[in-house]
Amino acid sequence: MNDVLSALKNLGYKPKDAEEAAIKAKKASKDAGFEEIFKTSLKILSMK
């Protein structure tokens, strides 16, 4: 989860937005690895 947050922040997303998206992505796919959570987080952030 920390890797996902770090990657999103490095792309310029605000920490709060990145954290909210990562939490939603993790809940949506509990057994997912970094790549899936990261991709889902990006999709969530792109809808804002």
Q: What is the pLDDT of residue 21?
A: 98
Q: How far is CA 29 from the centre of its chain?
A: 12
Q: What is the pLDDT of residue 32?
A: 92
Domain at 2-46, CATH homologous superfamily: Ubiquitin-associated (UBA) domain (1.10.8.10)
| Digitized pLDDT (tens) for each residue of the chain, 48 residues in all | 899 999 999 999 999 999 999 999 999 988 899 999 999 999 999 997
How far apart CA 48 and CA 42 sit, in angstroms, is: 10
The torsion angle over the Cα atoms of residues 46, 19, 4 and 48, rounded to 10 degrees, is 0
Q: pTM for this one?
A: 0.91
